[in-house]
Structure 1
Amino acid sequence: MKWRALGAVALVVSAAVHLKLWFGGVRDQSVGPAFLVNVVAGVVIAVLLLTWQHWVPAFLTLGFGLSTLGAFVISTTVGLMGVHSHWEGFAVFAAAISEVVCIAVGAALLLAARSAKAHGTTVRSRAA
């Protein structure tokens, strides 16, 4: 459960950063709707991760981290939908770190679920 709690905190941090940026003016850019989707998805996945002992929330956590961090990396290199971001500011690093945590926790939970299935145990009795 500690891994799931850590993942949920990371999801909420990323969602909070995206909400702050959305209110800070990103909503008027082409990526505005995507930021709002990140806010809702982060909160929903965090709730699922804490309440549903299944591999699906872990998979969603991994995918959330990969997609949000990937989109930011693209925006800092070649640009994303006309937006060219920079690795500057607290919000950027808070979101990036939380998304790396989402990737690590999602992967760890998926591996734990796979290992538990191979050994015929439940995920709850193992690392999750």
Structure 2
Amino acid sequence: MAASDPPPPAASTPGGAPSSGTPPVPPPLPRGAWLLRGVTAAGLLLSADVHLFLYVQGYQDIEVVGPLFLLNAVAGFVLGLLVLVWRHWLPLLGAIGFSVATLGAFYLSTTVGFFTVEETVGGVQQVTGAVSEWVALVGALLALVVERRRASGRSRKAA
């Protein structure tokens, strides 16, 4: 190669962008996916708020369940933020697992009891918590479907 020859073309990534040693930036999410992520985050954050409120209002004194309510509040807050800032499917999967586990524990406590706690279905906090967890669950499931469908459409176009 002579000194006047042009440099060889840069290696490219599967998306066609030159590789610079940094991973390629994923394409922007469609509006629908962002809306669903926002709904999911709202459900998670509201659930976290309900659990923190109940923890402070006396649940902290209940063995096993008290610490679980605090853990639930922290996890809901962290997952709510992750769903918004990390454009990956893992926070959505975490939101699904969180919602299923929280709803399961709630329905156990209203039917057979959960670690000696027997809850009622009625009540502002109970209804707010259950609705927020259903919102988070449905929002996360739909967001996963929308984002996966878009990703599979992109991979078909590339082939």
> TM-score, structure 2 length as denominator?
0.73
Give deviations 1:37-75, integer Å, cap 9, x for gaps: 111001100110110111011111111111111100001
Note if contact 2:103-2:133 (Cα within 8 Å) is conserved in structure 1.
yes
What are structure 2's unaligned runs of at least 5 residues?
1-33
Q: CA deviation at 1:117?
A: 2.8
What are structure 1's unaligned runs of at least 5 residues?
122-128
Specify the alignment match of 2:120 in structure 1. 86
User: Is 1:50 paired with 2:84?
Assistant: yes
Bigger proportion of residues as helix: 1
User: Is 1:27 paired with 2:77?
Assistant: no
Give the aligned length: 121
Taking only aligned residues, the RMSD between alpha carbons, in angstroms, comes to 1.1
| Structure with max Cα Rg | 2
Equivalents in 2 of 1:106, 1:66: separation in Å?
11
User: Is 1:11 paired with 2:41?
Assistant: no
Equivalents in 2 of 1:55, 1:112: separation in Å?
11
> TM-score, structure 1 length as denominator?
0.90
